[in-house]
Chains A and B, each alone.
Chain A
Amino acid sequence: MELSGVFKYLYELLANSGLPPVWVDLISLIAAALIVFAFLAVTALFLVWWERKVSAHIQQRFGPMRTGWHGWLQTIIDMLKLIQKEDITPATADRPVFFWAPIIALTAAFAAYVVIPFGKGLIVSDLNIGVVFIIAITTFTIISLLMAGWGSNNKYALLGGMRSAAQVVSYEVPMVVAVLSIVVFAGSMSMMDIVNSQAKIYQWYIFRLPFGPIAFIIYLIAGTAETNRTPFDLPEAEQELVAGFNVEYSGMKFAMFFFAEFVNLFTVSAIATTLFLGGWQGPFLPSWVWFMGKTLFMVFILMWFRWTYPRLRVDQLMEFSWKFLLPVSFANLVLAGFMKYSKWFNW
């Protein structure tokens, strides 16, 4: 049940059809992009529903129950509703900035999937700088949040955008350093190489004591902050900022921000799976099932965090990042390098 065979067969069918090789490459890339886009759209819809169910059951409620089996049609109906809604632009908004912000948010969220391996051979493009690419592309989210905050010409939105920029920049650093320790150990920035270096379960980076679990926890904390989720959801703190950067957005533009948020959630979980939990490696089941299972487990953990912890204050947030996470992650990086070149625990 490996899916890569199917795609390989389709590609060969296209290559043998007599089209010039440029067209073959173009068509196959567009097809791959469309497949990833469709997959992520479905995943985002599923995650919205799942988040509502998890939060409901943590609070001992039911969540959506009316539409379909346990309300599984709810998010599809919500999306149809959002598409139909009027797209309002505030009179004093900075129009181009306001218009492009959700588009950049969504593009940045989707672009990260170029280098994420969904399974054995299931990767759009195995860039040799995969890790750098992901870190660079996900940072675009900050720009979109700032644009949304500035373009709305609304004090809550602007405050939310500023907070989110400060937060994401602060947490980007420990996250990158935590990821770097994995890169040091794997000796490559290609996502496929990193996955291939954790073929056995004891080779998963989360189990490589002592640096692996520390890097994993730092990554998880920073990833939660990157996706603007509780306990780091200051950019959209409902009680203080109404809804944060997306106050003025309605209809499909709001839906795009919403989508981007859940796609980012899935991205953070997928990267955690790839870097720490062995990616698609696993016995018996097809590789893409392993990847999805691990990623959804990570998503569940992040949701569990969200519905457990209260929000931090801004000063606590900054202090935690710069005074605690950053030194620990640097020490961890040094430890990882030392372990790598002293050949200790180097199984």
Chain B
Amino acid sequence: MIKLISAIKNLVVGLITTGKHLGRHAVTVQYPTERWEMPERSRGIVVLLSDKETGALNCTTCLLCERACPTAAIKIVYDKDEKGKRILKDFIVDHGLCCFCGLCEEACNFAAIKMATKYEFSTFDKNDLVWHTDKLQEVGRDVPYEKPERKKPEVKPAAPKAAPKPAATANPSPVMQPSPAENKPGITDKIDPQEGK
């Protein structure tokens, strides 16, 4: 008898649960006409970012992203000028190989490459998934980004050699002094202030 009562109770509970869900609004979206607003940090297509004022690419052809890429989806073709500085000829991303891990974005020190929130890039031909500089730049034009302040890590390699003498002798503020000395590696201070918020 107790079994019967609890069975009936549970049947009613089930009906109430589905009844509640019947009243709720659908969680799905009518896809081609409506779209999800993707989260800011979701990883979609790889794009190249360009400077907002000049329109030139942020890429300095440092090849860090190419080395970071675990699936070898990134290929960078470059020349060297007379001073030995690399000049970007072609930046090739094969989206068919890309595994959307985001390591290239993390490796980049100049906010030149990013995984945008866009995700619609299917084609009928797999060769169309290989994107070159012009297309990567074009798609990346309206992608918002913040250019990180890279001054500190850039100055640092030079600082330990040149700075210690003036810092020990003639630094006016003692508060400022320990902060550059304490966070030595560039990675940690990259993670803390920006990713935390």
Q: Which residue of B lies closest to A306 (CB)?
A: B18
* Contact B15–A308 (Cβ < 8 Å): yes
* Contact A61–B28 (Cβ < 8 Å): yes
* Contact A61–B22 (Cβ < 8 Å): no
- How many A-B pairs have beta carbons closer than 8 Å: the answer is 34
A residues 52-86 with Cβ under 8 Å of B?
Answer: 54, 56-62, 65
CA distance A136 to B14 in the complex (A): 34
Q: Is A307's CB within 8 Å of the partner chain B?
A: yes
Contact partner of B21 (CB less than 8 A), chosen from A60, A62, A65, A305, is: A60
Interface residues on B, range: 10 to 19
Q: Is B25's CB within 8 Å of the partner chain A?
A: yes
- The interface residues of chain A, by DSSP majority, are classed as loop
Q: Is B170's CB within 8 Å of the partner chain A?
A: no
* Contact B28–A62 (Cβ < 8 Å): yes
Q: What residues of chain A lie closer than 8 Å to B24, measured between beta carbons?
A: 60
Q: What residues of chain B lie closer than 8 Å to A307, measured between beta carbons?
A: 18
A residues 35-65 with Cβ under 8 Å of B?
Answer: 54, 56-62, 65
Interface residues on A, range: 10 to 19
CA distance A145 to B15 in the complex (A): 30
Q: Is B127's CB within 8 Å of the partner chain A?
A: no
Q: Is B1's CB within 8 Å of the partner chain A?
A: no
11 residue pairs of the A-B complex, CB under 8 angstroms, read A59-B21, A60-B21, A60-B25, A60-B27, A61-B26, A61-B28, A62-B28, A65-B30, A304-B15, A304-B22, A307-B18
* Chain B interface residues (CB < 8 Å from chain A): 11, 14-15, 17-19, 21-22, 24-28, 30
* Chain A interface residues (CB < 8 Å from chain B): 54, 56-62, 65, 304-305, 307-309
Extra pairs beyond A58-B18, A60-B26, A61-B28 (13, CB < 8 Å): A54-B22, A57-B21, A58-B22, A60-B24, A60-B28, A61-B27, A62-B28, A62-B30, A304-B18, A304-B19, A304-B22, A308-B14, A309-B11
